[in-house]
Amino acid sequence: MKPWSSAISTARVENGLVKGTDRRTWINTFRARSDGVIAIARIVVAIGSLWIIWLDAAVRPPRSDLAYWLLIAYLVYAIAAALSVWKGQVHLVRGTFVRHMVDVVTLIALAFLTGRVSGPVFMLMPFVQLTATLHWLWRGALWTGSIGIAVLAYLAISDTGWPFRSDVDAAVALSFILSLLTATILLTWLGTHQEEVRSHLLRLVERTPSVPEGRDWPAEAALDYATQMMRVCRALLIWSDGDEPWTNLAIWKSGAYEVRRLSPSAYLPWTPQVLRHASLLIIDAKRSRALIHRGEGRFGRWREDEPPISPALAAEFSIASAISVQFHANDVEARLFLLDPPAPTLDDVAMAEIVADRLKTLFEQSILLRRLSDAAALEERIKIGRDIHDGVLQALAGTALQLQALRSSKAAPDEIDRRLIAIQATLLEEQRDLRALIRALEPGSDHRRTGDSQLALRLEALADRLRQQWSIDFRFILDPKDLWLPAGIIDELARMIAEATANAARHGQARTIEARLRLDGAAVVLTVDDDGTGFGFDRRLEHSELESSKVGPRSLRERVSTWGGELSIDKVEQWTRITIKIPAHP
């Protein structure tokens, strides 16, 4: 059987709310565990009562035989009930009330059969009351204790004439009654306290702090969660971040939220240095009356003359009593003040520490979100720069080379005019590509396009443009010819082909380039062969070696790595071969 804490930890929580069936399952789990212990105790009580009846045989009252057989039947029932509980499933607890009624009826029957407040009756009475407390908390303790007191009072009056006689039997009866009355009062209070603790635990399980969107600190969500968990109307959260030159202060008052940015020295120190990491139960802030949680459930009084919290903070926000806990999230140091708690206890401090631990997680999520946002922005800037480098800049470089060749050319005016028109068309096409890139970066547009595209037409148009830009013989082979790929991958492959061509033409003086594109299972394989001078090595280099030694085309390496692919460079006869393999559906 799972313990109560395990039942809570394995609860099914959906949309921040605990289903009613789960709540019943937890309670049944607890009851099932209790019934296992109660079953053993019931057998012990039955055996002990039989033993008492046997020892009392010399002064046996007239109806003791009936009491003896009643206890034998009760022992058989106790064994049968224990077997039923132990064989039953944890989440299907049935018959608890029936078993309790059998115990109560047996107690009353024994009381009338023996006619005394001592003996088996007094042995069975605390068992019945404790089992009722375990199952129904203060309600069980109160009602079962009331029945027991009524039965004992009746027996005492009928047997001893109490409270009108003064003898030993009357004193014994009164002692038993007062003992049961005291136990009822204490168990009722204990049941009330246990029910309140259970309510706290269920509230913690039922809801978690809502994670806000954006880069703002999640102070509003933190205070909303803290006030609802701790049932307070006012709360204050103060925190500082090593990366920001100010102190942040958030106030929650009856649902109204306000946040302030203050100077770094505002309200410093929030608490004395010795209390920097301690949890506080402030009973009276003006008189410096407070309890300090020193860890592991140990509390001590604050006996220093110095106030436990900043006097300026206490004065501005009228802090009389409060529960204060601190937490650290990376470089963020924060302290939560739950103001004016109703009848605060040490249990409230423990619960506030659990709340603070969840607020710590909330702030850590916010910090992680900021870092991911910054990293994504940086990655996007790098990608944009790489796209401009492999697209527009390479096109401009090719255009510059063509213009330089045209200046030194002695061709006829008609030929020069034709080449200028071709260069102008290339510039217009690059201008359209650059404009499309800028539009894709506007808010609301998805620059990572999806859908299909006519791959053969796209790449053939790219081949024509590369021939004009670099004045080379460029061939393109598609295998199969009707190969289909997502538009985003086609864009990336086009940039890779353009970059590989630019490297071969500019740096390797290649005049012939052949690109092949084929599908290999779940991967797209692109090979680019050129007759240039290559990269200065005559053996095959795989992706890991290219990455570690930082050789080969840097832009291609980064593009391939971004897409989770592999790049290799090899020398095949008179050709330099670049092989790129990327997932077809990244």
As a whole number, the mean pLDDT across the chain is 80
pLDDT tens digits for 469-519?
778 888 888 888 888 888 778 888 888 888 888 888 888 888 899 999 988
Map residue 22 onto helix, strand or coil. helix
> What is the pLDDT at residue 33?
63
Q: Other C-beta atoms within 10 Å of 70: how many?
A: 20
Buried b (16+ CB within 10 A) or exposed e, 404-417: eeeeeeeeeeeeee
> What is the pLDDT at residue 309?
92
Under a CB-based contact definition with an 8 Å cutoff, are residues 145 and 136 in contact? no
Residue 62 burial by Cβ neighbours in a 10 Å radius (0-12, 13-18, 19+)? exposed
For residue 269, say if its preceding peptide bond is cis, omega within 30 degrees of 0.
yes
Distance between CA atoms of 398 and 403, rounded to whole angstroms? Answer: 9
Q: Could you give all domains of the chain from N- to C-terminal order, each with its CATH number?
A: 4-206 (no CATH), 219-372 (3.30.450.40), 454-586 (3.30.565.10)
In which residue are the tokens 């009389």 written? Answer: 320
Distance between CA atoms of 483 and 382, rounded to whole angstroms? Answer: 30
pLDDT tens digits for 280-299?
999 988 888 899 987 777 88
Q: Which of 214, 210, 216, 252 is nearest to 359 (CA)?
A: 210
Partners of residue 576 on adjacent β-strands: 530, 571
pLDDT tens digits for 380-439?
777 777 667 666 676 677 777 777 777 777 777 777 777 777 777 777 777 777 777 677
Q: Is the pLDDT of residue 142 over 50?
A: yes
Distance between CA atoms of 498 and 325, rounded to whole angstroms? Answer: 60
Which of 11-20, 423-432, 548-557 is predicted least confidently?
Answer: 11-20
Distance between CA atoms of 383 and 535, rounded to whole angstroms? Answer: 25
Q: Is the pLDDT of residue 448 over 60?
A: no
Strands 256-262 and 17-18: unpaired
Residue 228 structure tokens? 């609802």
Distance between CA atoms of 324 and 337, rounded to whole angstroms? Answer: 4
Q: Is the pLDDT of residue 14 over 50?
A: no
Across residues 166-188, what is the average pLDDT?
79
**In the 8-state DSSP scheme, what is residue 57?**
G
Q: Is the pLDDT of residue 450 over 60?
A: no
Under a CB-based contact definition with an 8 Å cutoff, are residues 285 and 307 in contact? yes
CA distances from 36 to 1, 7, 22, 84, 183 (A): 9, 16, 21, 10, 23
Instruction: Name 203's Cβ contacts closer than 8 Å, sequence gap at least 6.
Output: 228, 229
Distance between CA atoms of 196 and 391, rounded to whole angstroms? Answer: 68
Strands 473-479 and 512-520: parallel
Residue 258 structure tokens? 């306000």
